[in-house]
Structure 1
């Protein structure tokens, strides 16, 4: 269990709504659908109502700072089945990238690989007390594109399982100009999202949420506040 999963959830019952894609940029093909993730009829481009309002606010703030730039929506809502599929997929990719066979791991190797993957991917728990953040409809993975539609270089791709994914990886004492640019880009992304009320995942520069357990856990000046959103599949709808 991660520390934020001890936060209680008081479900507010807000609907899960489609993200209006016109103000944003999105992949030509959704990256998890491309590798076979089982979304069924549910669009990954969905968020809880209050989260969506804040995402639109973040886009407005970005426009004020950089006219023509857009938030690039990489991923948002994930059903449990998708979370489970992508954790398994990422685990196998990680294992193979280290020249190991997923079918022939020692218990120690399996545990070591799982611990690394779970730094970045939430366990696909169906326990109502510990939902994966994306399964609540309150978490979203994002980057930025400029006015020409070119993706802004953040120094590492979304979903990379390495310390380069940590939000402040390129912060000082890095002193080379390239690292400075990466850090400035990440700071801009953080600024427009935090200004709208989101919190950032401590190990993923691209992951932001509002109203889920991670968000509630990070509200240092309002201790004791519960999460607003539990797993969408557990909401009466």
Structure 2
């Protein structure tokens, strides 16, 4: 039998937003990531001083339920740690600008868009193609111990380089990073999530990316935060 850590990760580069996918908002409410057995909240952006990022993490109800299911499928002694979920447009813009300042060319939108969704230009774009984290259906998650201490999966959160790519360690058969990334990947897929090829920690459910991954025409989640004029 193939186990979660023996099965390879094979994924085509993710295109976001995927073409040809519409949005049909289902109206599902948000819930806080708190008090869920096996799922720990570690609000990374708040802890890093992103001014617009709050100290609490929210996700759509079904996303949180799916995380609970994923955690229950993990081996004993391994839990899930959620770094981020719902973001306002202010938070998204601040994260994007912070990343731009680290680039040799701050105007390099191709590199920015590989790792972060650019803030929409107008309300129409926001409605038609909301950034995944504004929907409450995108989650940044990793593995941790039962005390919430994160395990080392071979790259830091928001380490925007090749080490963060989902399959970066796939060719290293001796790598503990490969074993843990496979564990996270197959557990999250088993709970219904869609992966993101450029970040091992980013998964989506009910979003446009998730719809494309699962062969569906419409996303269930539109924007769950208000429009803000850039």
Q: What's the TM-score once normalised by structure 2's chain length?
A: 0.82
1:4-56 Cα deviation digits (max 9, x unpaired) = 154100000001111224522333xx3312323314xx664111111111111
1:186-223 Cα deviation digits (max 9, x unpaired) = 00011111111001112110001100000001113xx4
Question: What CA distance in whole angstroms lies between the structure 2 residues aligned with 1:2 and 1:75?
Answer: 18
Structure with higher helix content? 1
SS for the counterpart of 1:140 is strand
Matched, 1:187 2:196: no
Pick one of 61, 66, 73 that aligns with 1:54.
Answer: 66
SS for the counterpart of 2:59 is strand
Matched, 1:160 2:159: yes
Shift of 1:138: 0.3
Q: Contact between 1:72 and 1:143, CA under 8 Å: does it hold in 2?
A: yes
Q: What's the TM-score once normalised by structure 1's chain length?
A: 0.80
- Number of aligned residue pairs: give it: 207
Pick one of 37, 45, 50 that aligns with 2:57.
Answer: 45
Structure 2 gap ranges (5+): 1-14
Shift of 1:230: 0.5
Matched, 1:88 2:92: no
Shift of 1:232: 0.4
RMSD: 2.1
Shift of 1:131: 0.7
Find the counterpart in structure 2 of residue 26 from structure 1. Answer: 41
Matched, 1:76 2:85: yes
Structure 1 gap ranges (5+): 99-108
1:156-197 Cα deviation digits (max 9, x unpaired) = 11111111111111002x34x2xx211110000111111110
Find the counterpart in structure 2 of residue 102 from structure 1. Answer: none
Matched, 1:212 2:207: yes
SS for the counterpart of 1:118 is helix
1:63-114 Cα deviation digits (max 9, x unpaired) = xxx213210111111011111111111111x23xx5xxxxxxxxxx3433x3
Question: What CA distance in whole angstroms lies between the structure 2 residues aligned with 1:44 and 1:230?
Answer: 21
Question: What CA distance in whole angstroms lies between the structure 1 residues aligned with 2:98 and 2:145?
Answer: 31
* Superposed counterparts of 1:121-132, under 5 Å: 121-125=116-120, 126=123, 127-132=126-131
Question: What CA distance in whole angstroms lies between the structure 2 residues aligned with 1:2 and 1:193?
Answer: 19
Pick one of 111, 116, 130 that aligns with 2:107.
Answer: 111
Question: What CA distance in whole angstroms lies between the structure 2 residues aligned with 1:196 and 1:190?
Answer: 10
Find the counterpart in structure 2 of residue 10 from structure 1. Answer: 24
Query: For the structure 1 residues 8 and 43, does the alpha-carbon distance in structure 2 shift closer, same or farther, using more than 3 Å as the test?
Result: farther
